[in-house]
Structure 1
Amino acid sequence: RYRHKCFSSTLSGMGRKKLRESLKIKEHDRFPSRVSGYCNWEIGNEVIRFSAVEFCLVTGLTFKDSCESPLHITKHMDKRILRSYFRDGKVNVKMFANWFRNLGPDNNVCDDDMVKLALVLFLEMTLVGKDDRNAIMYWALQLVDDLDAFNSFSWGTFLYGRTFDSFSTCVVGRDDKYMERLESPAKRKAEKYNVYGFVTAFQVMRDIL
């Protein structure tokens, strides 16, 4: 059921040898022509470049020059799934995941809806990668009810934008906080930061280079 969905290439993954060969390609019909921006991360003695090109190759997701607002796309879409399973409309990622895991054989969820809910759960927990205390993206429950619209949505552009924004801002101001912590009597001297989005794509880049 997942084989022909938009995330099938991301779920199946690419072999490391094939991915190494793909990274040598300078142009690709799925590469964004105007999606700009990249960041370099120094890890040990290596400098890892992270841009839309690498993100596209690792995830297999397609890009468009721009990503239409999902709220605009789903503005007039039915909220059937939201009404059927989340009537109070207040659900965070953790609650959604626990509810889905506890669905038993006697649940009232049809097979088609199980696939749709699983796609949204994979999107929330793996690709978007946000804090599980945050609310789920309710518009995704509307969009997934129309699988053609869900599959044609520019997930590569959307997810790369979220991931790149997180990479770009996660360490801003952290050096000052670290210096303050060194001068304070606090026992913990390390300064931590969180990176959200599909960070796995960056981790794969580091492993294959």
Structure 2
Amino acid sequence: MIQPIRVHGMLIYNLLKRQLICPEEEKDDEMWFGLGEKKARFGREEFCLCSGLNMGTLPEGFQEKEEVSEESILTRYFVDENPSIELLEATFNRLTEPSEGDDALKMGYLLMVSQFFGMDEARTAIPSWVLSLVEDIDAFESFPWGSYIFNVTLCCLKNAAEKHIEKLRGNGKKKEENEGPKNKKRKKKEEENKEEKKKNPKKKK
């Protein structure tokens, strides 16, 4: 069984809470965080150092769907044109013959890549362009997976940060709405007390 990559959600959450806005330094393909008194950047260079993946230029139109040949693993092993990770893993585990070596390698690559770019749910379908690409092992190995996975990762982090900000704004608005009537009632009471004191001033001794 392929062991899934564990994502430490709490670590990422606490990091996102320390996001900085650095207009003089920040680019579209990076994020900045405040760690103590230091500013830390997460960009292509940092991702390359952590992952060791190919950060080359993504080929134009790489996600376009291609025709599947009769010799492809998709045609020979699967009925569905978009098999799930669960089905792919089950098929991979049944490959035991030496003649199935190339097919096992292709399926192994698919399982490995699926772990990297967030397809961690067993029933998630594998994109058709990935299934087409793996038929050419050399092309699959030379593909700039680092650039692709970095783009996906950065997009997920930015979306999560935006959702967190919207949630904070929503909670603040809700708190303001909830406290509004109480504040009005308190102010009204204070005004009534002031009027009462004006009407009935205390006599000086």
The structure-2 alpha-carbon separation of the partners of 1:153 and 1:180, relative to structure 1 and needing over 3 Å to count, comes to: same
Q: Is residue 2:61 matched to residue 1:78?
A: no
Percent identity for Structure 1 against Structure 2: 27
Distance 2:99 2:131 in 1: 14
TM alignment of 1:6-45, pairs within 5 A: 37-42=29-34
Aligned partner of 2:52 in structure 1 is 60
CA drift at 1:129: 1.8
* SS of match in other structure, 1:64: coil
Amino acid at match of 2:52: G
CA contact (8 A) 2:63 2:129 kept: yes
Amino acid at match of 2:119: K
Structure 1 residues 120-142: Cα deviation after superposition (integer angstroms, max 9, x where no partner) = 100001x1123414311222222
Larger radius of gyration: 2
Specify which of 134, 144, 148 is matched with residue 134 of structure 2: 144
The structure-2 alpha-carbon separation of the partners of 1:89 and 1:174, relative to structure 1 and needing over 3 Å to count, comes to: same
RMSD: 3.2
CA contact (8 A) 1:81 1:142 kept: no
CA contact (8 A) 1:116 1:144 kept: yes
Give the TM-score normalised by the residue count of structure 1: 0.57
Distance 1:109 1:171 in 2: 48
Q: Is residue 2:153 matched to residue 1:163?
A: yes
Specify which of 143, 148, 169 is matched with residue 153 of structure 1: 143
Amino acid at match of 2:42: F
Distance 2:167 2:86 in 1: 30
Q: Is residue 2:86 matched to residue 1:122?
A: no
Aligned partner of 1:5 in structure 2 is none
CA contact (8 A) 1:66 1:157 kept: yes
CA contact (8 A) 1:82 1:138 kept: no
Give the TM-score normalised by the residue count of structure 2: 0.58
Amino acid at match of 2:60: E
Bigger helix fraction = 2
CA contact (8 A) 1:61 1:155 kept: yes
CA drift at 1:178: 4.8
Structure 1 unmatched ranges of 5 or more: 1-34, 185-209
Aligned partner of 2:85 in structure 1 is 93
CA contact (8 A) 1:38 1:52 kept: yes
